[in-house]
Amino acid sequence: MESLEGVVRDIIFQNEENAFCIFRIEDDKDIHIALGTFPFISVGQTYILKGEWVLHATFGKQFKCETYEEVMPNSLKGIEKYLASGSISGIGPITAKKLVEKFGSEIFNIIENDTRRLMELDGIGEKKIKLIYDSYIKGREVKNIMVFLQSYGVTPKQALKIYRVFGNDAIAKVRQNPYVLSEEVPSIGFKTADGIARNLGIEIDSPFRIQSGITHIVNEYCAQGSTFIPRSELMERGRSVLEVPEALIEENLMHSVMTNRLAMEKVNGMDGVFALPYLYAEVSVTKRILSLALDEVDDLKLPVEDYIRDFERDNHISFHEKQIEAIAGAVHNGIEIITGGPGTGKTTIIKCILEIFDRAGKKVLMAAPTGRAAKRMSEATGRESKTIHRLIELGVSTEDEEVLFDEDHTLNCDVVIIDEASMIDVMLMNNLLKAIKPKTRLILVGDVDQLPSVGSGRVLEDLIESTAFKVVKLQFIYRQGKESYITTNAHRINTGEMPQLNAKDSDFFFISEARPEESLDTLVELITKRLPNFNKKWDRVKDFQVLTPMRKGELGVHNLNRVLQKSLNPNNRSYDFTDFQIGDKVMQTKNNYMIKWKKVKRVFGEPPEGQGIFNGDIGYVTGINTEDNTVSVLFDEDKIVEFESQDLDELELAYAVTIHKSQGSEFKVVIIPVFMGPPLLMSRNLIYTGVTRARELLVLVGSKKALSYMIRNTRTYERHTSLKYRILNVLDNVSVEET
């Protein structure tokens, strides 16, 4: 095996997924091309490469690296390039130059053993010192892990996650049991763990391998929205993934069930295999929601019809008989479900229900699954509404992994109203029901025809289809005037009809473009010129929202945000630690219960600070601090959150978001690129959900053929859940006992 030692001069190609890299490396004699797996390579690093010289037909002589060892640079020029490469958080090109000028070749020793000396430089404070030191030490440990794991296809991000879970014990843990990676480390799949295990000599028919593989298949299937996998599907996937006889899969499946690693039950004649958390959640939801429905609520003895007439008179409206049924049902039933599309009067019904319970002296609490949906509910009703997480005081453990719920915490109220109920997954529903006291009325309001919850389960559909609860379906459209085309076209789409396009005085437009790149150009022109000129009151960043079916491709979220950031916020200032710019529109991509926020303005009776920013919350970058490497973001127009550099991966640009991520939100102007894509994505409920997010104007850009396909396509990814059948089984047993 030959060797080559030199300094990395520039990187020609780098694949972030598998860490394959092609780069130029300079030794004492010449500059060479080298290639191999380099997860943490940066310009300025010095390497000793081990491998062989090869001759490429097009690119000529190259060094193909099998293993490598990093050597810390010894020249001042090399040290500066290394520090400027971004290898150490908190140090960019400007800071690197100052550090080398001040400390010379002693800089690495100072970082590791005498970090306080860094404060001798202007602009470096306590927070930045800690950031630099932690990054340096962590990088060193992670590199050691990567040297061990690199031949198994582990990516840099995965290595960091392994380090966060196991720390310095990572290599020992993996050697002892490689399958622990797929079970305990987020985003590390079974295939990666299996590859390591096979190389370490674990046999293909090892029971531990097969059991771990079965668990992986169940979890992977349920991550798509189901709460169990049919046994036949598990066996089929097991044969493909594990490549062992079916008898061995059966044997190890039964062992996993007997040892309470998994559970197996018959659901509507089908053998279902459950991950235990989903099984427990569906059993608990069944028990608790039927208790609320079957327990007799207090008869309030209210003149409901008189109260409804009073509300009609005061608000100059006349309710439809279905709306009256929904209002009366909320008073008389323990549980009621109100479902309907846009313009069917759901908000007006909620306002009337609130007034009736107010007159009865009953306390009502309101919530929605997301912050934006809760805020919209508050604006529409003039009453406080919270996220469900905040309402029931969900928290997390100190490790920020496990969601915690105080079993003793119950809601002190008589009525709970939940909006956007189609977004509730089974885990959140379980926690909500745990917090509701017996004999409390629960009113679920939502649009069952929208996309299902991102998390597992189909709670609203299962509750409706069980026929165990009072359900009122609103179909008549009451909203008229300015928003009528958005509303009526949404209903046309929902019934499989093409919308009316580009009518006079319409708020619903279609712009035909043949190719994705033309659609992209049109989107940018609409947002930067045409629409702002059409209505001077619209803000190009805050009031316009691009919604797209997918993340990748020319019209996917990633590329759209890159292009729109350049067009809407062309601030070219570069920072050592972030690509965000002041003024950027951003979205929180995971629930962070612990992150702190402060109110911009102090409001009497409200706390000036608190904790928690949630998945889907949209904010705006208001400040970037290069001393502390922090980014300040304003959420909900009144909450400032200071993100440290290590938390910035929870944020992404939000000039464009997926239609899935837009659920529960409403925007003044929505622009949707319409193009052909995977059939399971290009569905009726997806385009329907996107259209119903628009309040004042909706513009579709792209192909009429694709739009027609989406409206006709009712195929969706089938979710297997057991909630409906559990409810029906309990009711059947109750009926048998009564007879």
d(CA 683, CA 551): 16
In a 10 Å sphere around its CB, with 0-12 CB exposed, 13-18 middle and 19+ buried, how is residue 141 labelled? middle
Pairing mode, strands 667-674 and 544-548? parallel
List CB contacts of 586: < 8 A, sequence separation 6 or more. Answer: 580, 618, 619, 620, 621, 633, 651, 652, 653, 654
Q: Which two tokens stand for residue 483?
A: 């928003």
Ramachandran assignment for 301, one of left (phi > 0), alpha (psi -120 to 50 degrees), beta (any other): left
- Cα angle value 250/253/254 (rounded, 5°): 90
Question: Any binding-site annotation on 344?
Answer: yes
Q: Which long-range contacts (CB under 8 A, 24 or more apart) does 95-104 make?
A: 95/121, 95/123, 95/124, 95/576, 100/76, 104/76
| 573 Cα distance to chain centroid | 29
The vertex-557 CA angle with 554 and 563, nearest 5°, equals 65
Q: How many C-beta atoms surround the C-beta of residue 287 within 10 A?
A: 14
Pairwise CA distance, residues 528 & 523, whole Å: 9
Q: What is the DSSP letter of 613?
A: E
102 known member of a binding site? no
**Tokens 């991966």 map to which residue?**
649
Return the C-alpha torsion angle 695, 700, 706, 707, nearest 10.
40
In Å, the largest CA–CA distance within the chain is: 95
In SS3 terms, 560-587 reads as: HHHHHHHHHCCCCCCCCCCCCCCCCEEE
For 260, residues 6+ apart whose C-beta sits below 8 A from its C-beta are 276
Secondary structure element (H or E) that encloses residue 557, with its range: helix 557-568
Whole-angstrom Cα distance, residue 55 to residue 53? 7
Q: Is 739 annotated as a binding residue?
A: no
Residue 44 assigned ligand-binding role: no
Spatial distance between the Cα atoms of 421 and 418, rounded to a whole number of angstroms: 6
Q: CB-based contacts of 545: which residues, under 8 Å, 6+ apart?
A: 656, 657, 662, 665, 667, 669, 670, 671, 693
Q: What are phi and psi of 509, to 5 degrees?
A: -125, 155
Sheet holding 386-387, edge to edge: 386-387, 364-368, 415-418, 441-446, 335-340, 470-474
Count Cβ atoms below 10 Å from residue 322 Cβ, excluding itself: 18
First to last CA, the chain: 84
556 is in an annotated binding site: no
CB-based contacts of 71: which residues, under 8 Å, 6+ apart? 5, 46, 47, 48
Q: How far apart are CA 633 and CA 620, in angstroms?
A: 5
- Binding site listing for ATP: 343-347
- Binding site listing: 343-347
